[in-house]
Amino acid sequence: MATAMTLPPKEARTAARPSPLPSRNPLPLSSSQEAQVKELYHKRVRTKCADEVRDFASCCSSRTFTATIMCRGQQKAMNTCMKQYATQDEQDSAREEWFATMDKRREEREQKEAKKKIDEVFWREWWAKDPNEKPGQAGKGGP
């Protein structure tokens, strides 16, 4: 009974522990959304290391199997740069950017759907197709 009196309240014990997730954005995403975030993340890292990637690509452009030997210095420089910027903070920044552009992507998707509907109406009128008509029955008259 004396030990129960000396323990701090449950709220105080749980507040002192850090979150088990290291990410600033713990919201779970679907696999396709995670792939979009990862693509954005890799694009950001490649942009920061564009000079090193360009140097490595120019070194490799005129070589075949000797590229691994002859371009080792450029490859090491490129990999070092990529490792420098490929951090959890950069991944969190990419995720935040993905969340910030959600509305823009939604608007683009809605505009695309609206254009698709307008185009569908246009092509139906253009070809004068009846949506209820089955294929192969066009132009067939009755007996």
pLDDT band with cut points at 50, 70 and 90 for residue 124: confident
Supply the mean pLDDT for the chain: 81
Is 92 strand, coil or helix?
helix
On whether the pTM is more than 0.85, the answer is no
121 has pLDDT over 50: yes
Q: What is the pLDDT of residue 110?
A: 94
Distance, CA of 107 to CA of 104 (rounded, Å)? 5
Mean pLDDT score, 36-53 = 94
Mean pLDDT score, 30-50 = 92
Which amino acid is it at 60?
A: C
Q: What is the pLDDT of residue 20?
A: 46
